Amino acid sequence: MANEAEKEAAGRAAAELVRDGDIVGLGTGSTAYFSVVALGERVQSGLKIVGIPTSVATADLARQLGIPLTTLDEHPQIDITIDGADEIDPKLNLIKGGGGALLREKIVASVTKKMVVVGDSTKVVPALGKFPLPVEIIPFARTVVERKIARLGATMKLRMRPDGQPFVTDNGNQILDCSFGRIADPASLARELNGTPGVVEHGLFIKLAKLALVGKGNSVVAVQPKIARSKRSVTKRSQSNTVRAPRRISKRTRS
Ligand code: 5RP
């Protein structure tokens, strides 16, 4: 079960990595929320940054907290992005999009020098795929895309809102939540989905995250991706370091 204290500790620890003058990608979701709140506090204390939000909800939160915002047109390269994930594998490949913001999140991640993923300990998995993979689609192409994804081996559901209407993303698209089961080769599946007309984006984030900060009990563990060391693919174990969990904040209203 997701752990709020672990999310807060990880989100706050990541916010400490931001430096004066940084262009900062602001992630979406209940863990990234804590990073945005912590950044808001640092801005109030004099930190000079500009943020690029990955969703309308995060933009609203950042404005409320007084974080100056900018656009990719003004700043097409981002120094650091802090974002959550639904699953994190040992290579720091991710499934994202549980909150429906995967398209903007991936655009932002793709132009970020250092993407830091934050999560509670439930997000770390040996292999991706237990969490259904969100795929953002053009509504016009829905049936065509559903057939293609079924051929790739998944069952899927159109994401719905609580009122029974299809969920609509910030970009006016729909989301198919696709259950592939264990995804043996995420990069290959990502290529298949990228090559499917009607798919706008999918939630597989391959080799984009440089660091994961994961809340674990009372501490935050830093995880770097497993690195291939030789042609024979001898791999190094994930580098893990425990970092001190930052001070908890008082309760604030979440957007
Ligand atoms: C939104 C996302 C979120 O970062 C992801 O769903 C994790 O969310 P949470 O921190 O609330 O568990 O990808 O599109």
- Please give the pLDDT value at position 106: 98
Neighbour tally for 245: CB within 10 Å: 20
- Using CA atoms, how far apart are residues 69 and 58, in angstroms rounded to an integer? 11
pLDDT above 90 for 44 = yes
Among protein residues, the one with the nearest Cα to ligand 1's atom 5 is: 85
Among protein residues, the one with the nearest Cα to ligand 1's atom 7 is: 85
Active-site residue, 105 included? yes
Q: What's the sign of the alpha-carbon dihedral 49, 53, 77, 223?
A: positive
Q: Do 173 and 137 meet the contact criterion of CB atoms below 8 Å apart?
A: yes
pLDDT above 90 for 165 = yes
Q: 30 CA to middle of ligand 1, Å?
A: 6
Catalytic residue among 6, 8, 105, 146: 105
> pTM for the whole thing?
0.91
Q: 16 CA to middle of ligand 1, Å?
A: 20
As a whole number, mean pLDDT of residues 43-49 equals 98
What are the tens digits of pLDDT across the range 193-244? 999 999 999 999 999 999 999 999 999 999 999 765 544 433 333 445 666 5
pLDDT above 90 for 129 = yes
Structural domains of the chain, ranges and CATH numbers in brackets? 2-125+207-253 (3.40.50.1360), 133-200 (3.30.70.260)
User: Which residues are bridge partners to 134 per DSSP?
Assistant: 177
Closest CA to 149 of 173, 184, 180, 103: 180
Q: 101 CA to middle of ligand 1, Å?
A: 8
> CB under 8 Å to 57, separation ≥6 — which residues?
28, 101, 255
Task: Tell me which residues have their CB closer than 6 angstroms to ligand 1.
Answer: 27-32, 83-86, 96-102, 105
What are the tens digits of pLDDT across the range 55-110? 999 999 999 999 999 999 999 999 999 999 999 999 999 999 999 999 999 999 99
Amino acid identity at 49: I
User: Percentage of the chain surpassing pLDDT 90?
Assistant: 87
Q: 27 CA to middle of ligand 1, Å?
A: 8
Two tokens, residue 244: 């001190």
